[in-house]
């Protein structure tokens, strides 16, 4: 399994109630081919579930879905790459990891675009909405 299982279940849940939720930069990695999808979220647990749900139903990113269908769920790991505390840093770090792993290039990864229609303000709005839904103080300015 990914780093989440080794390091973080309890720690990540503590963020929900004690402090501002961190932004998690994560990868979905095909352990057979080494190809990766890189993304970011302020709710790692639910994002991981939603990726699995979509992949199991054939409704995910086309390249990722094709690899999942070909190799099977057992060949994929969900891994935390990095955790950042500010949403304004999350997009830059996500892009850094996408470039480092070359995830937009076929044969290396499954990302189809650099950062689809997301801005730092959009990420902050998403985080603010998440915090309001879960009754978490929104401290990021």
pLDDT tens digits, residue range 78-120?
Answer: 999 999 988 778 888 998 999 999 999 989 999 987 655 555 5
pLDDT tens digits, residue range 49-74?
Answer: 999 999 999 998 899 999 999 999 99
Between CA 73 and CA 45 the distance in angstroms is 18
Structure tokens at 118: 């997301």
Domains and CATH numbers, the chain: 3-132 (3.40.1440.10)
Count helices and strands (H / E) in the chain: 6, 3
DSSP 2: -
Write the DSSP string, 112-141. Answer: -SSSTT--HHHHHHHHHHHHHHTT------
């Amino acid at each position: 399994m990914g780093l989440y299982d080794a390091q973080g279940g309890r720690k990540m849940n503590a963020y929900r109630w004690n402090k501002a939720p961190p932004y998690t930069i994560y990868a979905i990695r095909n352990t057979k081919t080494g190809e990766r999808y890189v993304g970011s979220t302020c709710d790692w647990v639910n994002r991981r579930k939603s990726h699995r749900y979509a992949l199991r139903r054939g409704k995910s990113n086309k390249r990722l879905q094709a690899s999942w269908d070909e190799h099977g769920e057992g060949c994929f790991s969900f891994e935390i790459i990095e955790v950042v505390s500010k949403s304004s840093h999350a997009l830059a770090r996500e892009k850094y990891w996408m470039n480092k792993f070359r995830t937009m290039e076929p044969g290396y990864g499954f990302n189809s675009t650099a950062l689809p229609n997301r801005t730092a303000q959009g990420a902050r709005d998403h985080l603010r909405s998440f915090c309001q839904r879960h009754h978490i103080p929104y401290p990021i300015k």
